[in-house]
Amino acid sequence: MQVVVIGAANVDIIAKSKAGIKQGDSNLADINLKAGGVARNIAAMLALRKVDVDLITAVGNDPFGNLLRESCAGIGINTDAWIVKTNASTGVNLVTYENSGELYTGFNATSAPETIRTAELTKHRNRIKEADLLILDLNLSEKILALTLEFRNEHAVMVDAVSAEKASRAKGFLDKIDILKLNRREAEVLTGIKLDTKQRVKQAAYSLVNSGVKRVFITLGMAGVCAADANNVIFVPAVPIVVKSKAGAGDAFSAGLAMKFAKDLRTQAEAGVSTAAEHLGRM
């Protein structure tokens, strides 16, 4: 299977407090720097499972960009199509956690993928067109999303909504998406439906399918996932596990969906849940 992933690659700077965080004071913490970004994370999880994967992203001509490229190449991700920008910096995501592991706050500057130009992407048209599966994250501009989907014709396309802020970028392209992965808040933004009951989760999933998406997966945290297509809507429970960190769980879920994209709805949903659970317990 050949997969092309297009979207964000950035450096994650993660600080975990050694004790309860005290506002307005210096806090002792464990601080780690690692490769991140939704598209990069999905590509990495696929590459580690021996999938042939290309990552197309934009980074700055800076040390963080070099670090990311070396890191990706080191685990088998093809980086030949990376776009190096002289007028943008490599994305950085700064996240702080309480000593309990709960997210405290986060900051990000990850706009480099939004600067990708039409001509830069068109160079890789054949690579995009010929892949068995194309995965897009919504860190891309709507113009680039439209162009990429135009290249695909009838081939399978999967979209990760990334965040509630960016989920609305998919609105104009729902009928061109085969697999759409969202969390509860992203689905609320995209459908305008408050997902506070199981029935409303089903309503939101049906709304997206009726808008043209072939398969929809709405992750619901400890409540598992709702999956829907034109024939079914199902709920798959979460896997009980001791959570070491929630970071990257959504990206792991997307990687699981990609691994089983040609399977039936339930098999695909279960693959997403199991891959996310494996990631949550390993971090």
- Domain with 228 in it: what CATH number? 3.40.1190.20
d(CA 81, CA 239) in angstroms, rounded, equals: 37
- pLDDT for 109 equals 78
Count CA atoms within 13 Å of residue 205 on its CB side: 27
Tell me whether residue 34 is in a domain: no
d(CA 60, CA 278) in angstroms, rounded, equals: 32
The SS3 of residue 58 is strand
Tell me whether residue 229 is in a domain: yes
Tell me whether residue 29 is in a domain: no
Maximum alpha-carbon separation in the chain: 55
Structural domains of the chain, count: 1
Tell me whether residue 77 is in a domain: yes
d(CA 168, CA 145) in angstroms, rounded, equals: 12
- pLDDT for 127 equals 95
- pLDDT for 264 equals 97
- pLDDT for 20 equals 85
CA distances from residue 281 to 13, 99, 154, 248, 269 in whole angstroms, order as listed: 21, 17, 37, 12, 19
Q: In what order do the strands lie in the sheet with 2-6?
A: 52-56, 2-6, 133-137, 156-160, 179-183, 215-219, 225-228, 233-236
Tell me whether residue 93 is in a domain: no
d(CA 242, CA 230) in angstroms, rounded, equals: 35
Domain hosting 179: range is: 2-7+41-87+113-282
C-alpha 95 chain-centroid distance:
17
C-alpha 268 chain-centroid distance:
16
**DSSP characters for 106-170?**
EEEE--GGGG--HHHHHTTHHHHHH-SEEEEETTS-HHHHHHHHHHHTTSEEEEE---TTTGGGG
Tell me whether residue 117 is in a domain: yes
Pairing of strands 103-109, 91-97: antiparallel
d(CA 28, CA 23) in angstroms, rounded, equals: 12
pLDDT 10s digit of each residue in the chain, 283 long? 999 999 999 999 989 899 888 888 888 999 999 999 999 999 999 999 999 999 999 999 999 999 999 999 999 999 999 999 998 899 998 888 888 877 778 787 777 899 999 999 999 999 999 999 999 999 999 999 999 999 987 789 999 999 999 999 999 999 999 999 999 999 999 999 999 999 999 999 999 999 999 999 999 998 999 999 999 999 999 887 665 666 678 999 999 999 999 999 999 999 999 999 888 766 4
The SS3 of residue 8 is coil
Residue 204 structure tokens: 């939101």
Tell me whether residue 35 is in a domain: no
- pLDDT for 243 equals 58
- pLDDT for 37 equals 93
Tell me whether residue 108 is in a domain: no
- pLDDT for 100 equals 80
